[in-house]
Amino acid sequence: MREAYIVQAVRTPGCRRNKGAFAQTRPEELLSQALQGVCERAGVDKGEVDDILVGCAFPEAEQGLNVGRVVAQMAKFPDKTCGATFNRFCCSGLEAISLQSLRIMSGWADVCIGAGLESMSIVPMGGNMPRPHPDWAKENPDVYVSMGITAEHVARRYGVTREMQDEFAYHSHMKAANAQKNKLFTEIIPTTATKFVEKNGQMVKTTFVQDYDDGVRADTTIEGLGKLKGAFASANPWVPNQGSVTAGNSSQTTDGSAASLIMSGDAVKRLGLTPIARVVCYAVAGCKSDEMGVGPKYAIPKALEIAGLKIQDVVNNGLFEINEAFASQALYCANELGIGDKSLWLSDSDSRVININGGAIALGHPLGCTGAKLCATLVNNMKKLNKKYGVESMCIGGGMGAAAVFELC
């Protein structure tokens, strides 16, 4: 089987839902810029791309109508370049990258893009018209339960305290603030955003360029996080009102897009390119729906086994990007995997290998975009720090986990 290589990977900034820079920017415009940006940075003509697959957790409304094909046209790819849209909730962007890699490995394509997209400002979480099956909801409501409730379940069942969660959240912000200060987010492409302002009694469309994640709070303190009330406990009568999962130790809901350009070895040689990383393998694993956050605990070992690696191989010469959907589940998974030692994730530790520039608590979790976003962050950090291995993982709504392994070229 052939190899699949990531030649370039980029992302837009992640900006806060409703309050951030992209709140009035249509999702197609975010995705279009990510697609153009990845080709421009790689120095590859758009006509070389066979297919574009876009992960999106709620592919409807402005994100509907097969947004993958629509935006391929908006971004001025030729008619021969195809496009499709895929949904595996929080893993959609990584799934898009893995499926395109498989196409290349099989010999069905030579140059593809795997991307992710989510505008949580414009298309609400849950969609515009969610309709759970009434009979199935009575038999097994857990598959429809709020993600915040599942995070509370993980915290209560496995002893992840409020103090532990707040400490983890604090360091996520500190790592991200440090990365912003030192301009470490080199995977970000400056992105044109839209804003409507009133002028002479009329709403006028204006534009500006956004080049940073606007949810990072450099002034975060553990004391401040400790004052926040539980965000989800009131929906669960048997949990005390002061639940441990808060807005401060949960991922931010954000808008954003990301894209990876993936090629076969033959295409890399033909175009005279130097790839960043080889796509080694990808795995998914199921778990209980009502504690969906534990998914990485099962998916990471599964992927490492396929790759012929041990967790210590990555600790010794690699990096992890484990999506911080909630501090409770991220901490639990790290502990279960044997990488829970604080030195591996603290902001002031020189030994950190987990989310070294912060995670979704500080930078946001734009659902279908996140898998592609984390890939861009991971492979660019592998290149900068000369780390041989990279592992990306996340939990997935409905009770799943996913993980991918990358190797530096």
Active site positions, annotated: 90, 365, 395
Residues 163, 242 contacting (CB under 8 angstroms): no
Q: What is 117-163 written as a DSSP string?
A: EEETTTS-TT-SS----HHHHHH-GGGGS-HHHHHHHHHHHHT--HH
Report how far residue 249's alpha carbon sits from residue 329's, in angstroms, rounded to the nearest whole number: 11
Q: Which of 311, 290, 314 is nearest to 302 (CA)?
A: 311
H or E stretch covering 313? helix 311-317
Q: What is the number of other CB atoms lying within 10 angstroms of the CB of residue 23?
A: 18
Return the axis-axis angle of helices 327-337 and 295-307, rounded to nearest 10°. Answer: 40
Q: What is the number of other CB atoms lying within 10 angstroms of the CB of residue 340?
A: 16
CA distances for 204 relative to 122, 162, 380, angstroms? 19, 46, 38
Reduced to 3 states (helix: H, G, I; strand: E, B; else coil), residue 272 is coil
Report how far residue 10's alpha carbon sits from residue 5's, in angstroms, rounded to the nearest whole number: 15
